[in-house]
Amino acid sequence: MFIEIGVLAAGIIPGRLLKDRPGAHKPVARATMLSIYALLFILGAKIGGNQALFESLDELGVQALTLGFLCTMGSGVFARLAAPFFRTPGPNSDHAIKQTGNQTCAQVNKPTDSPTDGQTGKQSGGSALTGSLIILGFFVAGLLLAKSGTLPPDLYSGNLSLYLLWLMLFCVGAGVGFDLGSLLIVRELGLRVLLIPLLTVAGAFAGACLAFPLLDLDLRSCLITSAGLGYYSLASVVVSESCGAAMGSISLIANLFRELFCLLATPLLVRLIGPLGTVAASGAPAMDTCLPVIARSTNERYAIIAIFNGLVLTILVPVLLPLLIG
């Protein structure tokens, strides 16, 4: 646990030092995406190379989708409770909030589950969906190649995935260092904005508790899966390294479902649980892949809240997961 958190924290330092250098984020984003592709390929290979795991993939999928749906809706319903606190503007004008949001949208660059160019912010829902499907494709490719015996077992049974995980955590830390300016949104919206990530996490945990009696999983495994908060690339790898490929697969499918579901169903979610609930339901992807559809279905004020919420959850996931696993 401490190694992973230390590697993440170490990456924040160069991110802050290089945040004003033009193009500095690009190699970090590329390294992040390459490590994500490699890690999910290896995770797929671990399942494909294990006959028992491969045969139970349908059961794992049902468990993952149940957890993904309940955790997503739990976050949305819990955040809906905070809606009254956001109905009136804060002490600063909406114009000031809008300007802060525009600057933040331009600076945001979270190299996580975004399309392959590593850019975040104003991307289309179609390109975001394509990026998620590409990542899923690497997982499926690893699974099928290992199942066919094409891959040497040493490729996915050694320490390669651990080293790639450390590389990805370092790059994620650098990405957070680039984006710490997004926390200035708190100054514009006030401390009440902190309610959203807190309720997002609480709602996801509540969804896990609701799923627990329905599934053949212990409560701790359900909570670990819910702590991914839509950040499926990091969550699946951390979970698979510590809890095995089966749990890693459940985490991947559940958190990938969260992102894809919110990408496709955001207009419906806005009507059912309101704009604030929709931001929370999107989880960590609210600040990048889900941001365009949130902005189109709500307004710029909620898009700014989505950026802040996604940033805070991106920082929380690498902390929550080791605590629950440890």
pLDDT in tens, 13-61: 888 888 778 887 788 888 878 887 887 788 788 878 877 777 877 888 8
Instruction: Look up residue 151 and give its DSSP letter.
Output: S
**CA–CA dist 287, 307 (Å, integer):** 4
Q: Which of 51-60, 224-233, 285-294 has the highest mean pLDDT?
A: 224-233
**CA–CA dist 111, 139 (Å, integer):** 19
Per-residue model confidence (pLDDT) at position 122: 41
In a domain, 99, yes or no: yes
Please give the structure tokens belonging to residue 225: 């899966």
Tell me which of 38-52, 124-138, 244-258 is least confident: 124-138
Per-residue model confidence (pLDDT) at position 186: 62
For residue 100, pLDDT beyond 60: no
In a domain, 67, yes or no: yes
Q: What does the DSSP assignment read for 81-136?
A: TTGGGGSS--SS-HHHHHHHHHHHHHH----SSS-TT---SS--HHHHHHHHHHHH
Structural domains counted in the chain: 1
**CA–CA dist 165, 55 (Å, integer):** 27
In a domain, 232, yes or no: yes
Pair 231, 289: CB distance under 8 Å: no
In a domain, 130, yes or no: yes
Sequence letter at residue 251: S
Tell me which of 87-101, 168-182, 294-308 is least confident: 87-101
Pair 169, 4: CB distance under 8 Å: yes
In a domain, 96, yes or no: yes
pTM above 0.75, yes or no: no
In a domain, 233, yes or no: yes
Pair 26, 187: CB distance under 8 Å: no
Confidence of residue 212 (pLDDT cuts 50, 70, 90): very high
Structural domain for 255, as ranges? 2-13+23-325
In a domain, 266, yes or no: yes
For residue 99, pLDDT beyond 60: no
First to last CA, the chain: 7
Average pLDDT over residues 252-277: 89
Task: Give percent above pLDDT 70 in the chain.
Answer: 81
In a domain, 18, yes or no: no
Pair 194, 316: CB distance under 8 Å: no
Sequence letter at residue 43: L
Task: Give percent above pLDDT 90 in the chain.
Answer: 25
Per-residue model confidence (pLDDT) at position 123: 47
Query: At 200, which helix (H) or strand (E)?
Result: helix 195-211
Torsion of CA 281, 233, 104, 121, to 10 degrees: -80
Size of the chain in residues = 326
